[in-house]
A = this chain, B = another copy of it.
Amino acid sequence: MQALSKTTIYAIRALIYMLNNQQTNQYINIRDISNDLDISFHFLTKILQSLTKQGLLSSYRGATGGIAISKNPQNIRLIDLIYILEGNDFFDKCLLGLPGCGTLEPCPAHEIWSVAKDDLKMKFENASILDLKNLKGRITNESLELATA
């Protein structure tokens, strides 16, 4: 089950990477992120641009430029990234693809699905990008490195 689009996935991984690698008051090079995480540079740039526009990141052009997290990472929740990148209706979709889940007459799967959705929504509300960083898991395709406990 592909819950999130590549766009959101790349954003999450990039932000965790930035938390792991940032020095104080220093911009991080997008090229480095894309290289280390094996993500298309231009695609990642566009994703991060939208986060910059939303005020989560700040960017700086030129030779020593890059991007930096400009918001308290404890206040950057997964659900915030989802709403920005997937849209505010992310949790309003009917399991059977019918219009008006929660507002029109429910479909037969509504009871099951709405509970599961609320559950997941809550998890995404309670997980900040800092939380994920502290959980210290794998964010690259490589399975070599073990978690540093």
Contacts and interface: CB of A to CB of B under 8 A. Distances in A.
Interface of A: 1-4, 6, 9, 12-13, 16, 78, 86, 90-91, 93, 95-100, 104-113, 115-117, 119-120, 123-124, 127, 132-133, 135-141, 143, 145-147
19 contacts: A1-B86, A1-B117, A1-B120, A4-B97, A6-B97, A12-B96, A96-B139, A98-B139, A100-B143, A105-B145, A105-B147, A106-B147, A108-B132, A108-B135, A108-B138, A109-B127, A109-B132, A112-B127, A116-B119
B116 A137 contact: no
Copies in the complex: 2
Contacts of A138: 98, 104-108
B96 A109 contact: no
B100 A1 contact: no
A120 B127 contact: no
B116 A120 contact: yes
Contacts of A146: 105
Nearest to A82: B1
A138 B12 CA distance: 36
Contacts of A93: 1-2
A78 B135 CA distance: 33
